[in-house]
């Protein structure tokens, strides 16, 4: 009798428990996931402790990597700011949208008349069509004329600087001095809320802290509806303005202090998700927009084991740290498969249950199968390296074929066509130090053919950056 009673009790408890799990799973599945992109500016592949930096301590970013997916072959769409961001937000190579630039106009400047064309569709516009609230905090750099601002590109809210933090330099201070001994008043950069300038020059020492407060507020205010937050730090792009709370903390000097504050900021974002019960239904991506600006020596970052820097098409210019995090959404794993910021748009749309536009060429792949742990291999197996509007190289599998050489620190570009293309096996030679073209003529041929096929899909459009 007693035994029967226990059996019944056990069965009832189990049934109720299973029902609760089912209900909870249904709730999670029916709610669209939230998305957060945290983008840093000019941070290198070797500037985080989880990617091997020995003196910069980034425990919050490291935790994201340990609990989520750390990608080690992840590429941005271009080796400098403006085209890289255009590729990220549209899922299209910037050469297709007129945002690739030319040898002499590689990014937008405060006086530029161009910007991301209105017919381009951003992640924000597409998620908005699927019921998302959208906010952009931080650096924009896709056009500062009124018609090109974030609020005209799918974002419900904007708080940030519309271009780089080293622009709008006053005439009386030469650029090298302004970078070496920066003062806020040297750079007349505007801080904007939506379409209004609220501070000029922006006080940059507290920028990361204020951006973070804004990001946390976006999370808190939108906890009951799906949201997309594009959080793009202006740092660690020079001039480096450390926050008093972080100054002198890192053995790496001011650059390290800046990265450690960004790490603190990541911790605040993750904490806000947890505090608001959103940590199981939010996908957070941490990436950089291009390689480190080595021209500025200790004020710039490190490419780690990679060759090259911001401004060139060696790995150090375009391969960036990329971490995907999201409890219940992202299966923890180390991913050595290729991926790109171009893939974020189709991946988010897939996770949100939305549809991709069919009237244009997209250059991204849906990585959601890999993120969810259902797929071992990345759907991306190739990558096209653009230097402004020129195809500088192509990768397929482990092989990279380079058609041009550049200055290894990126500036001046010194971009020259090679007499014969150089071939590297990136899986075995991460530093591009061993040209194996003469040993593998058949691979060279196959990659040349791939480059030709790709180039045939590119149509001529008006360049926006030289306007």
Catalytic residues, by residue number, are 81, 141
CA torsion, ordered 425, 452, 311, 260, to nearest 10 deg = -60
Residues 6+ apart with CB under 8 A from 199: 190, 191
Instruction: Tell me the CA distances in angstroms from 386 to 80, 313, 413, 416, 450, one per residue in order.
Output: 10, 7, 13, 13, 14
d(CA 127, CA 49): 33
Complex with Mg ion: residue 168 or 289, whichever CB lies closer? 289
CB atoms under 10 Å from CB of 307, counted, come to 17
Complex with Mg ion: residue 285 or 330, whichever CB lies closer? 285
Q: Which residue is nearest to Mg ion (CB)?
A: 81
d(CA 75, CA 340): 4
Provide the minimum distance between the beta carbon of 289 and Mg ion in the complex, in angstroms, as a whole number. 4
Provide the minimum distance between the beta carbon of 128 and Mg ion in the complex, in angstroms, as a whole number. 26
Q: Is 379 helix (H, G, I), strand (E, B) or coil?
A: coil
Provide the minimum distance between the beta carbon of 42 and Mg ion in the complex, in angstroms, as a whole number. 4
Complex with Mg ion: residue 98 or 236, whichever CB lies closer? 236
Q: Which helix (DSSP H) or strand (DSSP E) does residue 339 occupy?
A: strand 333-340
Complex with Mg ion: residue 320 or 329, whichever CB lies closer? 320
Could you tell me the end-to-end alpha-carbon distance of the chain, in angstroms, rounded to an integer?
A: 88
Complex with Mg ion: residue 242 or 292, whichever CB lies closer? 292
Complex with Mg ion: residue 42 or 363, whichever CB lies closer? 42
Provide the minimum distance between the beta carbon of 137 and Mg ion in the complex, in angstroms, as a whole number. 17
Provide the minimum distance between the beta carbon of 51 and Mg ion in the complex, in angstroms, as a whole number. 17
Alpha helix locations (H) across 352-440? 368-371
Q: Which helix (DSSP H) or strand (DSSP E) does residue 7 occupy?
A: helix 2-30
d(CA 213, CA 223): 16
Complex with Mg ion: residue 250 or 290, whichever CB lies closer? 290
CB atoms under 10 Å from CB of 379, counted, come to 18
Provide the minimum distance between the beta carbon of 239 and Mg ion in the complex, in angstroms, as a whole number. 14
d(CA 224, CA 220): 9
Tokens 């794993």 belong to 333
Interface residue list for Mg ion (CB under 5 A)? 41-42, 81, 289-290
Provide the minimum distance between the beta carbon of 317 and Mg ion in the complex, in angstroms, as a whole number. 10
CB 108 within 8 A of CB 141: yes
């Amino acid at each position: 009798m007693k035994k029967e009673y226990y059996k019944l009790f056990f069965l009832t408890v189990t049934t109720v428990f299973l029902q609760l799990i089912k209900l909870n799973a249904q709730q999670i599945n029916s709610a669209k996931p939230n998305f957060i992109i945290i983008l840093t500016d000019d941070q290198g592949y070797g500037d985080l402790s989880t990617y091997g930096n020995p003196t910069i301590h980034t425990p919050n970013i490291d935790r994201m990597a340990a609990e989520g997916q750390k990608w080690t072959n992840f590429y941005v769409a271009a080796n400098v700011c403006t085209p890289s961001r255009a590729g990220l937000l549209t899922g299209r190579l910037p050469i297709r949208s007129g945002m690739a630039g030319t040898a002499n106009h590689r990014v937008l400047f405060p006086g530029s008349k161009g910007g991301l064309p209105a017919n381009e569709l951003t992640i924000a516009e597409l998620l908005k069509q699927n019921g998302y609230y959208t906010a952009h905090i931080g650096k924009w750099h896709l056009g500062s004329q009124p018609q090109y601002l974030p609020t005209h590109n799918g974002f419900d809210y904007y708080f940030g600087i519309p271009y780089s933090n080293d622009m709008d330099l006053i005439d009386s201070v030469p650029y090298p001095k302004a970078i070496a001994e920066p003062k806020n008043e040297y750079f007349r950069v505007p801080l904007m809320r939506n379409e209004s300038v609220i501070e000029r020059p922006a006080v940059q020492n507290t920028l990361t802290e204020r951006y973070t407060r804004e990001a946390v507020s976006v999370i808190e205010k939108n906890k009951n509806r799906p949201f997309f937050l594009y959080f793009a730090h202006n740092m660690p792009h020079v001039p480096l303005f450390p926050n008093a709370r972080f100054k002198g903390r890192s053995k790496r000097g001011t650059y390290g202090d800046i990265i450690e504050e960004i790490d603190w900021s990541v911790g605040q974002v993750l904490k806000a998700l947890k505090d608001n019960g959103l940590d199981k239904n939010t996908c957070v991506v941490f990436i950089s927009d291009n390689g480190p600006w080595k021209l500025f020596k200790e004020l710039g970052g490190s490419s780690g084991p990679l060759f090259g820097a911001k401004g060139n098409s060696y790995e150090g210019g375009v391969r960036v740290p990329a971490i995907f995090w999201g409890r219940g959404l992202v299966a923890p794993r180390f991913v050595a498969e290729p991926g790109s910021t171009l893939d974020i748009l189709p991946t988010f749309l897939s996770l949100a249950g939305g549809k991709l536009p069919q009237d244009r060429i997209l250059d991204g792949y849906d990585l959601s199968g890999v993120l969810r742990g259902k797929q071992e291999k990345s759907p991306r197996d190739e990558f096209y390296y653009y230097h402004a509007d020129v195809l500088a190289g192509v990768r397929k599998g482990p092989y990279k074929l380079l058609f041009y050489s550049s200055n290894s620190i990126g500036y001046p570009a010194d971009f020259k066509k090679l007499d014969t293309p150089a071939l590297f096996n990136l899986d075995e030679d991460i530093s591009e130090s061993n040209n194996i073209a003469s040993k593998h003529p058949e691979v060279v041929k196959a990659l040349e053919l791939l480059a030709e096929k790709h180039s045939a899909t590119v149509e001529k459009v008006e360049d926006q950056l030289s306007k």
